[in-house]
Amino acid sequence: MRRAYFKNNWVAALMVAPQLIIVFTFFYFPTSQALYWAFTLEQPWGGGNTWVGFDNFAAILGDAYYWDSIWVSIVYAIGSTALAVIMALTLAIFADRQLAGYKLYRVGMIWPYAIAAPAVGLAFRFIFTPGAGLMMFINQMFPDLWNPVDNGTQAMGMVIVAGAWKQVAYNFIFFLAGLQSIPRSLIEAGAMDGARVLRRMRDIQLPLLAPTFFFVLVINITDSFTDSFGIVDTMTAGGPSRATDLMVYKIFNDGFQGLDYSGAAAQSIILMLLVIALTFVQFRYIERKVHYT
Amino acid sequence: MIERTPILNIATHAILVFGLLFLLLPLYLVIVAASHSLQDVVAVPPNLLPGDQLWINLQAAWAKGHLGERFVTTFIVAMGVMTGKIVLSCITAFGIVFFDHRLKMPIFWLIFITLMLPLEVRIVPTYAVAANAFLPFQTLLDLSGITWVINAVSGVEVKLEWNLLNSYAGLIMPLIATATGTFLYRQFFLTIPEELVEAAKMDGAGPVRFLWDMLIPLSRTNIAALATIMFVYAWNQYLWPLLVVTDQSYAMIAVELSRLVPKFTATGGEVPKWHIAMAGTLIVMLPPIVVVVAMQRWFVRGLINTDK
């Protein structure tokens, strides 16, 4: 289909130029720079970088700490995603029944989207601290039951809960929108055929929600890899003994605290490949996004 | 719908109320902690009802974190990201959708790809760029040999430098360098009927006039959606400001908040001042919550259309 166009391409160039310059400066150049660093090593006394091939990658992949970090990231990704997706889906599918108080429920589910990761982290760190409030009370009844400062599993648990809490609102918005784009007539037809509410949820709404579900799932996993810095930094700072040292956090630490740019760049490249792979999966599902009209 | 389901309705409300409680409980506990003195916060058994110290704690947090100044800084950055993003996305999408040139699709893809890698993933090299924003161009000149040519001809060594650390530009620009808004606008512009363009042309309007007088008024909902999303996004930034800012006068609010309590790993020492920290958390949370709740309708639509 031909559209009507304006002829003056100089105007078009002017319109597009600022964005292209910014994207080149802050996206393409840094990304290529990461590649360059990942394959080179900076000389200790200046004098440029020398080409080292895959040495940086070999060093990282031979580092047990890095594998720990990958493992921890996967645990966090699965834990927080499962919790946030299941919770949001349940809430959305019942909120979608639009009983009395629907609008109130909706606002109540959406507002956490607005909260900054460090604020979430700090709030949950307080809630879970063994030094105050509820947890201190529980510890007095059952001594040493809860101590995330020493216990890595417990620390990971509280980071997962905080991460999931932060994500529920976002997922809820998408699930609710997905549910509302299912034509009313389908559900009415189901009702006429004698399918009750729960049956309609299981056999009509959930299957038709599948594309949204996959989309949300992938976004959650990607976000858990990239967007977890604020929560980890404020809650556990990667501790105790690296039990919550997620990949993003390790890149930050190695790069800016350890000043190992090449190592951090190589880790960035690995994380980038991971995120790109996930994004491809996601785009496949977006393309297949079903339109019900 | 058609049937009466009294039991299921009760169950539905129970599930939703439980969900609400799960989401609201942390906020409630934060409020409770922010309204007691430190002794009461760490008391056993715990206080589960709000106390009367809220205002005092809020004031203490406000003073301790210099939150007044931080509010101003953060607000400036949020506004910068918001307007920058809206303007850039709007004109870029305009240039892609309403003109016919060979570079259209390549440009679209160049921008599209930026969706894949969030700032966090390429944080180390982006920091290097922020230390000298002309570094990419210097590298281009060096690699293409232009630096050498200029040096040979005029004896001038080309050294471009523009340090963005500790500046609003450094805080704002990297946050704008993604495609989210461009997409929202492209989707919207593609729904503009061809006849509208034809009519504008017939009436003698050029592209800029068309953009200003027709597209921008039509895209008001888009602007509202994007503004809300970007405000929240910028207000809540943590990692990037943590790196770019060393000068306190540019510190952003989320970074300042995290400094109200010592790091998790720090053992010994005094008990963290939880009552002050929680009061600070409340203050920092408030503006984006107000924006999201007030702009709910537009922001939800925008979020779904940008897929982010």
Instruction: Tell me the pLDDT tens digit for each residue of B183-228.
Output: 888 888 888 888 888 888 888 888 888 889 888 998 888 888 889 8
Residue B1: pLDDT band with limits 50, 70, 90: low
pLDDT at B272 over 90: no
Where do the domains of chain A lie?
Answer: 65-287
pLDDT at A293 over 60: no
pLDDT at B267 over 60: no
d(CA B279, CA B31): 7
Question: b/e map of B241-256 (b: 16 or more CB within 10 Å)?
Answer: bbbbbeeeebbbbbbb
Task: Indicate the DSSP class of residue A293.
Answer: -
CB contact under 8 A, B254 and A117: yes
Q: Is the distance from CB of B252 to CB of B245 less than 8 angstroms?
A: yes
pLDDT at B174 over 90: no
Homologous superfamily in CATH for domain A65-287: MetI-like (1.10.3720.10)
pLDDT at B270 over 70: no
Q: At what angle do helices B6-34 and A117-128 cross, to 10 degrees?
A: 90
Beta bridge partners of B99: A6
pLDDT of residue B156: 75
Residue A76: pLDDT band with limits 50, 70, 90: very high
CB contacts < 8 A, A to B, total: 319
CB contact under 8 A, B100 and A5: yes
d(CA B129, CA B124): 9
Q: What is the mean pLDDT of residues B147-157?
A: 78
pLDDT of residue A292: 43
Residues of A in contact with B127 (CB under 8 A): 256
pLDDT at A33 over 90: no
Closest Cα in chain B to A232: B264
Q: What is the mean pLDDT of residues A212-224?
A: 87
CB contact under 8 A, B292 and A101: no
pLDDT of residue B83: 93
Neighbours of A253 (CB within 10 A): 18
Residues of B in contact with A15 (CB under 8 A): 91-92, 94-95
CB contact under 8 A, B177 and A27: yes
pLDDT of residue A85: 95
pLDDT at B308 over 50: no
User: Measured in whole angstroms, how far is the alpha carbon of residue B191 from the centre of its chain?
Assistant: 27
Q: Pick the more confident residue, A98 or B238.
A: B238
Task: Indicate the DSSP class of residue A204.
Answer: I
Determine the distance in angstroms separating the CA of B147 from the nearest CA of chain A, rounded to an integer.
Answer: 18
ipTM of this predicted complex? 0.85
Determine the distance in angstroms separating the CA of A33 from the nearest CA of chain B, rounded to an integer.
Answer: 6
Residues 6+ apart with CB under 8 A from A250: A65, A66, A69, A238, A267
Residues 6+ apart with CB under 8 A from A47: none
Q: At what angle do helices A152-180 and A210-226 cross, to 10 degrees?
A: 140
Q: What are phi and psi of A40, to 5 degrees?
A: -130, 170
CB contact under 8 A, A108 and B20: yes
Residues 6+ apart with CB under 8 A from A268: A34, A38, A251, B121, B122, B123, B124, B125
pLDDT of residue B161: 77
Percent share of chain B, pLDDT over 70: 95
Q: Is the distance from CB of B195 to CB of B100 less than 8 angstroms?
A: no
Q: What is the mean pLDDT of residues A154-173?
A: 92
Q: Is the distance from CB of B4 to CB of B239 less than 8 angstroms?
A: no
Among partner residues B29, B116, B125, which is closest to A279 by beta-carbon distance?
B116
d(CA B258, CA A242): 20
User: What is the SS3 assignment for A72?
Assistant: helix
Q: What is the mean pLDDT of residues A68-78?
A: 92
pLDDT of residue B4: 80
Please provide the average confidence, as pLDDT, over all residues in chain A: 84
pLDDT of residue A79: 94
pLDDT at B61 over 70: yes
d(CA B308, CA B302): 9
pLDDT of residue B81: 93
pLDDT tens-digit map of A272-282? 888 888 888 77
pLDDT at B171 over 70: yes
Beta bridge partners of A42: A49
Enclosing H/E stretch for A126: helix A117-128
d(CA A101, CA B9): 12
Q: Pick the more confident residue, B68 or B269.
A: B68
Residue A80: pLDDT band with limits 50, 70, 90: very high
User: What is the SS3 assignment for A3?
Assistant: coil
pLDDT at B34 over 70: yes
CB contact under 8 A, A30 and B126: yes
pLDDT of residue B194: 86
Closest Cα in chain B to A240: B265
Nearest to B230 by CA among B282, B141, B276, B292: B292
User: What is the SS3 assignment for B117?
Assistant: coil
Specify which of A47-56, B116-125, B235-244 reaches the highest per-range mean pLDDT: B235-244
pLDDT at A201 over 70: yes
d(CA B261, CA B94): 47
User: Measured in whole angstroms, how far is the alpha carbon of residue A247 from the centre of its chain?
Assistant: 12
Q: Is B129 exposed, middle or buried (0-12, 13-18, 19+ CB in 10 A)?
A: buried
d(CA B111, CA B259): 36
Helices (H), B65-167: 67-97, 104-112, 123-131, 135-144, 146-154
Longest dimension (CA), chain A: 79
How many residues are there in chain B? 308
pLDDT of residue A77: 93
For chain B, list the domains and their CATH numbers.
55-118+178-306 (1.10.3720.10), 122-167 (no CATH)
Residues 6+ apart with CB under 8 A from A46: none
Q: What is the mean pLDDT of residues B16-42?
A: 86
pLDDT tens-digit map of B73-99? 999 999 999 999 999 999 999 988 888
d(CA B211, CA A271): 40
CB contact under 8 A, A22 and B15: no
CB contact under 8 A, A110 and B296: yes
A3, A16, A173, best to mutate vs chain B, most B CBs in 10 Å: A16
Nearest to A158 by CA among A137, A182, A127: A127
CB contact under 8 A, A165 and B23: yes
Residues of A in contact with B278 (CB under 8 A): 122-123, 126
d(CA B89, CA B95): 10
Place of tokens 């995330």: A148
CB contact under 8 A, A19 and B307: no
pLDDT of residue B269: 56
CB contact under 8 A, B44 and A115: no
User: Measured in whole angstroms, how far is the alpha carbon of residue A99 from the centre of its chain?
Assistant: 31
pLDDT of residue B36: 82
pLDDT of residue A166: 92
Beta bridge partners of A147: none
pLDDT at B60 over 70: yes
Where residue A4 falls (left for φ over 0; alpha for ψ -120 to 50; beta otherwise) is: beta
pLDDT of residue B264: 66
pLDDT of residue A1: 45
Specify the amino acid at residue B6. P
A23, A198, A246, best to mutate vs chain B, most B CBs in 10 Å: A23
CB contact under 8 A, A275 and B118: yes
Q: Does A98 touch chain B (CB under 8 A)?
A: no
Please provide the average confidence, as pLDDT, over all residues in chain B: 84
Place of tokens 């996930």: A278
Peptide bond into B45 cis (omega under 30): yes
Q: Is B218 exposed, middle or buried (0-12, 13-18, 19+ CB in 10 A)?
A: middle
Residue B306: pLDDT band with limits 50, 70, 90: low
Residues of A in contact with B181 (CB under 8 A): none
Residue A175: pLDDT band with limits 50, 70, 90: very high
Residues of A in contact with B125 (CB under 8 A): 29-31, 33-34, 37, 265, 268
